[in-house]
Amino acid sequence: MTGLELALIAFALMLFAIFLRVPIGVAMGITGFVGTWIVLGRPSATLSQMKTLTYDTFSSYSLSIVPLFLLMGQFATKSGMSAALFHAASDWLGHRKGGVAMAAVGACAGFGAVCGSSLATASTMGQVALPEMRKRGYSDALSTGVLAAGGTLGILIPPSVILVIYAILTEQNIVKMFIAALIPGVLAALGYILTVAIYVRVRPDSATQADRVPYGHRFKTLFKIWPVVLIFGLVMGGIAADWNWAQDGVQALFTPTEGAAVGAVATGIYGMATGGLTWRGFLDSVLNTASASAMIFFIVFGAQLFNSFLAFTQAPQDLALWVSEQGFAPVTVLCVMLLAYLIFGCVMDSLSMILLTIPIFFPIIEALDFGLTSEEAAIWFGILALIVVEVGLITPPVGMNLFIINQVARDVPMSKTFQGVAPFVLSDLVRVVILVSFPGISLWLVGVMF
């Protein structure tokens, strides 16, 4: 049996275990351990390799950025930033048809800039915006659909935990990944707002139109979101200072990990200063961060075991060579990968998809000629993968954001949420087509800043 055949069998068995509801980290870890044992032929070598891999994985300085961004998101959730963002956006957009739903999208984008978690964004903004939309007569389908979709902006607008994991797996620059996600993130928010505008014209009874708010009041509420702008500017500006000026002595203020620490501290200080972050809330934030970090690290460790097994079999390289020898158009191969993400998204969460597929897909991307440098292709593919993973968060039957919003709106049937989110899924697919067709949209800002 060749290494590629062994890897394909192991991958199929692992997927079967996942479909049987075996935790993804356990399924990947056991598959990697047993597969490595088979390849090396003796358990002692496998156990020795596992010991080394454990240290190498958890001593990674780059990985420490994950709990820091998670803690930043926890503090932001409890500090009241979400309410300020929503009210400011609502005052500026609420007088339009469907304006409160548009405001919810804008608030989700703003909150995502200091959160980095899709589930936290959907849950927090759902509690703030959903009562307001329902009070103003918005349909249940539009109200829940727009919040489920808007929540996905939490992982697309940097900082993003998923982008950090992708950058670590593919050995890419985390800062460049964040910068590349900015324009697609803005496009996502604008696409959702346009979708709302079309939706309320097709279904006029799904939304109402509020009275116009005086400009004096608008600027007053706009001033209240300065902490979000300040923290986002501090973190992103600090880690993405113009590296082209390095010869003149201008350097980035922080590494990405230091920037995450600064953001967490700044968000925590703001929450305490405003009274939104109590001592009980602080302890809950730390415990929730520890729990989420442990879950992520466990999955990462299982993925590393599986990746090590793949490395021993040389399956990714063999598969990449086979694909390149077939003469398939690079865009065709890319589209097949993106379609696979859409299928996996129906039954798997975003982190699991990235950890499961990147070790297999990325060598193929490196072997194909897209007319880009290897780094540009890696960054472009990372943004595309992130967007398609984001679509998986709002597609049935296991769209995590749909269940989060359903927990907030318990009296709304899930079928209504599915109906309301469908136009936003279509908006995402249109955006994927645009970004596949024009890689420069993702890469232009990186080229300008670096």
Helices (H), 136-211: 140-151, 153-156, 161-170, 174-202
Nearest partner of 133 among 149, 120, 121, 144, judged by Cα? 144
| Structure confidence at residue 398 (pLDDT) | 66
**Both tokens of residue 254?**
């922080």
244 pLDDT above the threshold of 50: no
CA dihedral angle for residue 229, residue 231, residue 232, residue 235, rounded to 10 degrees: 150
Cis peptide before 359 (omega within 30 of 0): no
**DSSP category for residue 213:** P
**Per-residue pLDDT tens digits for 93-115:** 878 888 889 999 999 898 888 88
- Predicted TM-score of the model (pTM): 0.86
Supply the pLDDT for residue 120: 80
Q: Which helix (H) or strand (E) holds 36?
A: helix 24-40
Contacts of 189 (CB under 8 A, 6+ apart): 105, 106, 108, 109, 153, 157
Q: pLDDT band at residue 146, thresholds of 50, 70 and 90? A: very high
Average pLDDT over residues 24-44: 84
241 pLDDT tier (thresholds 50, 70, 90): low
Q: Closest Cα partner for 60 from 304, 292, 398? A: 304
Residue 50 has pLDDT above 80, yes or no: no
Cβ neighbours for 76, distance < 8 A, ≥ 6 positions apart: 82, 111, 114, 115, 267, 271
What does the alpha-carbon distance between residue 417 and residue 143 come to, in Å, rounded to a whole number? 8
CB distance 123 to 404 below 8 Å: yes
Residue 18 contacts residue 291 (beta carbons within 8 Å): no
Rg (CA), the chain: 22
- 214 DSSP 8-state letter: P
User: CA 201 to CA 182: how far, in whole Å?
Assistant: 29
Contact status, residue 153 vs residue 187, Cβ threshold 8 Å: no
**What residue ranges do the domains of the chain occupy?**
3-449
CA pair distance 450, 447, nearest whole angstrom: 5
**Does the structure show a pLDDT above 90 at 434?**
yes
pLDDT of res. 249: 47
Q: How far, in Å, CA of 213 to CA of 218, rounded?
A: 7
> Region 17-40: what's the mean pLDDT?
85
Dist CA 98 CA 138 (whole Å): 8
Residue 429: φ, ψ to 5°: -65, -40
C-beta separation of 345 from 392 below 8 A:
yes
SS3 394: coil
CA–CA separation, 415 and 417 (whole Å): 5
Could you report the per-residue pLDDT of 272-296, keeping only the tens digit for each?
Answer: 888 888 889 899 999 988 988 888 8
Side chain identity at 62, as an amino acid letter?
A: S
391: its two tokens? 């679509």
pLDDT band at 194 (very low <50, low <70, confident <90, very high): very high
The answer to whether 287 and 67 have CB atoms below 8 angstroms apart is no
| 189 pLDDT tier (thresholds 50, 70, 90) | very high
Q: Per residue in 206-238, pLDDT tens?
A: 888 777 888 888 888 888 888 888 888 888 877
For all residues of the chain together, what is the average pLDDT?
85
Half-sphere exposure of 413 (CA within 13 A, CB side): 3
Which residue type does 334 have? L
Residue 187 pLDDT level (bands cut at 50, 70, 90): very high
Tell me how far CA of residue 140 lies from CA of 194, 293, 412, 438, in angstroms: 19, 34, 7, 36
Closest alpha carbon to 253 in 112, 211, 261, 21: 261
State the pLDDT at residue 250: 47
The whole-angstrom distance between residue 134's C-alpha and the CA centroid of its chain comes to 28
Are the CB atoms for 31 and 302 separated by under 8 Å? Answer: no
Q: Output the pLDDT for position 432.
A: 93
pLDDT tens digits, 364-396 = 898 888 888 989 999 999 999 989 888 887 887
